[in-house]
Structures are given as C-alpha cells and as structure tokens.
Structure 1
C-alpha cells in the first residue's frame, strides 16, 4: 500500500483565503471536528485532516471561483476521486466552494449536501466533466464508470457562507465572540493563512509514503492544538506556554516572599495545570470558558487587583477539573491582565 504525491504546489505564493477557510471549517464547524488531530496542506489535497491514530483522512478540495459550471465542478472533483481510488483510508471527500447557482440544486437553501441534491441535468454535466478528466489524466483503458458512481454517492459539497472572522470564532469555543473586535479576528485569520502558506514551501512531488502517519515527516501540517494555541495566545495577548518559569508581574505578589525553589515549584505547577486543561481534548471547553469569563470581566472593569478579580469572577466557580485550583486561576488572571495591557 503506497501513496504517491502528484501535482503538489511548489511555489511560494500565500495560501489562499479559501484554503484557510476550508481548514477552519474542518476543525471548527463539523460534528466530527473533535476527531481531527492534524491538518496537512497540499499533500493529499488542498487541505486534509488526519485523526490521532493516523488511520482516517478527511479530504478537502477547495475552489474559490464565482461561476462554477457543472462541468468544471466535475473536473475539480478529480483529485477527490483519485484519492477515492487510493488504498489509503479516506473517511470523507469534501468539495468546498462558493454558493452555487440555485438552478443547479433541488434544495437551493442547503449549504452542506450530497450529490443527489443536484438537479438531474446538473448531475449529468458533472459526471461528464469528471469522466473527461479521469480519461485525460489516467490515460488508460480502464472503465471507471462504476467507481465514479460509487464515489458520487459519498462526496459532500460544502458551500462557503461565512466570513473569515466567523471561521476563527468557531474554533475559539467562546460563546461571547464579541469580546474581541472583527479586526482582531481578521488579523488572526491572516496570520494563520501566512503560517499555512509557509508550510507549503517544501518540495514533495513524486514522494512516496506507505502509511498515513509518514506524511507528517514532510512538515506540511499543523496540529489542531497548534492552531487553537495560536488563537488563544492572540486573544490573551501573550504566548501562554512559552516558558514554565515565566510569570506576569501581577502574579508576583503571590510568590515574591518565597525562596527561588518554591517559586519554581509553584510556577511549574501552574503552567502544568493550565497545559493539562488546554491540551485535554475532552475537557478544554472548561479552559476556554474560564478565559472567556476573565476577558469579559476586564472588558468592562479596570480592576488590576488579581485577588479582587478572582473573588469577583471565579471564587464561586467550581471547575470540572481539579487541577484548575485557586493558585492556577490567579496565575491565569495575571497572564490575561498582562496580555490585555
């Protein structure tokens, strides 16, 4: 079982807005987003998600063209279809595109739908476009018509109807996304787009892998936690896990009276506790909720006394995870306060 990378981008152009949107859709707007551990760029396809066990791939082909004809849609389905023929385990095939013409669809209001939602005439033209592209690229005598029918039964079409800001907000797990401005969310989107672009600068054309996990060796990926950490660090204003012995000035009142070793122990414990809360996929909503409460408080209060802030916001709050104790929460309040300044 092998996979050969073909037609990969080798230029240094910035990753398109649309590809970044499809990345954020994959990790923030799906019912199964939680399963995705890594996202690769221009390897299997424009964007692909991989689970923790490296045995499933979510495959996305994104096309940001204002007027996609049915035949062109079929042509663009080819990379997804080619992966469908692969021996690798692809969980889902997704075509990510702008909102298509109403006349192409049976239910024009659907933004996430299967091939059967296309009008019969549109289906015929899409099949023709895909078939012609298969014949052109494969250039062999194999009849792919049965495989094409099987593929079209499972492909998902996702129409983009959200702004760049909304995709970033979907990843934050904040309920009150207005605690940051649209300009802020846009700047984070641009930063992520540029990081995505930098990951595509390597040359992998004709490289071969025999297991899904081997694609990570090309370093054309980000972990979902990398992306979430980027976003939360920008929201808080500092790199939250940059140094286990780092502490903000507002936390000094709690540890300045201690000797150096005791200081190190407390800082290491606080950093470890926050890290556990953030990186635990099953419980990290608690971390996001607490951050949201603290940031919301600071948005309407100028109070810089950490003890007072804790008593106002979190003294009656009982976290679902025991390691988010009082000292750790005061440490987090101090970090957020420093970052917001």
Structure 2
C-alpha cells in the first residue's frame, strides 16, 4: 500500500472552527466515537479519525459555509473521492457541512443522512460538481472519473449538517455530569484552545507530496491529537490547574509529610502515575468522570472539609469505578481538585 499526501491547506478562521466542531463530533456524537483514538489534522483530509492500532480510519471533509448549494457540495467531496479510490480502505467517508440550501434535503429535520435524503435534482447537481472538481485536480486519474465509480462513492458518504453551537460540542465531553458544567464563557475558551491546538498541527511541518507505506506512518509526522489530550485539556480548564503538573497540592501536604522522608518522592511519583493511568483509561472513563463529579460536588458543598473527610464521604461503588487509583492517589487527586476550585 502507498498513499501520497496532496491538497493539504492552511485554515481560515471559519474553516478552523468547522474542523474543531467536526473533531468533537467524531469524538462524541459519531456512532463509532468510542473506537476513535487519534484525530489526524490535514494529512489524509481536513480530519481523519483513527483507532488506537491505526488499522481503522474515518475520513472527514468539512465545509463551514452555512448555505452550501448542491453543486458546491459536490465540489467539496473531491478529497473524500480521492481517498475512496486510493489503496486505503477507509471505514467511513463523512462530509461535515455548516448548512445547506433548502433545495438539498428531502427531510430537512435530518442532520445525519446518506443519498436517500437528497433530492433527485440536487443529487444530479452534486454529481456534476464533483465531476468538474475531479477534472480540475491532477491527483484524480481520468480513468477514475466515471459515473458508476462516482455513484458508488456517493452511496458511501454520510452528510452531517452542523446545527450545534461550539459550546454544545464542548459540553458533550463532560457528558452526563451537570455538576461539573462550567459557564458558557469557559466552554467557549475550551473550544478555542482545542481549535488552536488543532490548527497548530498544520504548522509542524510540510507534508505535501509525502508518500507513506502504511497508515500508521501518518502518526510519525505528529499532526494529530488524541481523545485523551482533549479530555485532559477540558479537565484542566475546569479546574484551572494542570493535572500533570509537578509539585504537591497544599491540601496534600499533611499526608505527604507523614510519609517517611526517604519514601516521599517515590510515593508522590506513584500518586501522579496512578492519576495518569486513571485519566487515560478509556475503559473506565465513565467511572473516572463520576468520581470527579462527586468530589467536585463535595468540595463545593463542604469547602472546609479536609481531603480525608471528603474521601470518607465517597460511596464505595464510585471508588470501585476507578481501579487505577489507590487510597493515596485518590486523596492526591482530591487535593488537586480542591486546589483548583479554591484558587
């Protein structure tokens, strides 16, 4: 297998926002969200999801315009089509749209659909636009620009209409834990920080014209984010504290000072390592967020309580949901949250 990178591009602000919405859509709303670990920026396409072993890929093209016509939508499909005829077998081809004209959909209430929800006249214009764009691109071989191939490709495309605010996409990261939900101004700041990190991946190096031999080779160019990075960023912004920051939270000092002097450094490192494992254990993500919500609520309700008092008020079933943490690392993390809230 070989794959040559072509048509990478720089982002406009509107394009950057659309791509970040698309990333958070893949991370939280797409049916395969739990399987997507990497989000590769501007390599195969605007955005490509990849599983942890780099064997399964979800390809996505985004268009931020709010009123796209059928023909312009067809033109936007060209990079997805390039990947459809490549040697890579992508699991999905997704076009993420800021909006469409009223002439496009049969049922305007559907925001995720295939060609079954596209009006006949609109579909004809879409195909016309795609064929025109294919002829304008040197990376699409002429022998592939055939109506049967194009129709087969379009039957595999999922069209997503973006009708959510940027804050809604960030809110979805926190999921079912309303007590953790910050104000919209914080959610917007988190979205902007994710957007900036995503955009910065385009400036790491120039990949135009690079040929890779396997899909995992794409990761070598470091143009990706992971769902763990985004979860951690969100958590730290809520707390106003770096979870992985070196140092000892003031609330943990009393416990820390009880450790024998020669063991203090090792015990601290162990607590930090356990917290890292808990943060990045996708299999126990719900348990971790439930634990986080519980201690967050307890600290808000009882700000004067010590770390140990807070720990004793957490139900056993919540503690059991975080198998990567032991007593000291539970208390260490409680200290971090307490420090962040009370800054």
Alignment: residue pair count: 339
Cα deviation, residue 210, structure 1: 1.1
Specify which structure has the bigger relative contact order, considering alpha-carbon pairs within 8 angstroms and separated by 6 or more residues. Answer: 1
DSSP-derived class of the 1:205 partner? coil
Aligned: 1:198 with 2:200: yes
Q: Are the structure 2 counterparts of residues 276 and 82 from structure 1 closer, same or farther at C-alpha, using a change threshold of 3 Å? A: same
Partners of 1:316 and 1:52 in 2: CA distance: 29
DSSP-derived class of the 2:155 partner? helix
DSSP-derived class of the 1:16 partner? helix
Cα deviation, residue 182, structure 1: 0.8
DSSP-derived class of the 1:183 partner? helix
Cα deviation, residue 331, structure 1: 1.2
Correspondence for 1:207 = 210
Deviates more, 1:96-105 or 1:27-36: 96-105
Partners of 1:4 and 1:263 in 2: CA distance: 52
Correspondence for 2:116 = 116
Structure 2: segments with no counterpart, 5+ residues: none
Correspondence for 1:5 = 5
1:229 to 216, 228, 232: 232
Correspondence for 1:309 = 310
Cα RMSD for the two superposed structures: 2.1
Cα deviation, residue 15, structure 1: 6.2
Correspondence for 1:49 = 49
Q: Are the structure 2 counterparts of residues 330 and 264 from structure 1 closer, same or farther at C-alpha, using a change threshold of 3 Å? A: same
Q: Are the structure 2 counterparts of residues 11 and 80 from structure 1 closer, same or farther at C-alpha, using a change threshold of 3 Å? A: closer
Deviates more, 1:74-83 or 1:28-37: 28-37
Cα deviation, residue 177, structure 1: 6.0
Cα deviation, residue 247, structure 1: 2.0
Deviates more, 1:39-48 or 1:131-140: 131-140
Aligned: 1:320 with 2:304: no
DSSP-derived class of the 1:256 partner? helix
- Contact 1:15-1:193 at 8 Å conserved across structures: no
Correspondence for 1:171 = 173
DSSP-derived class of the 1:40 partner? strand
Partners of 2:99 and 2:14 in 1: CA distance: 23
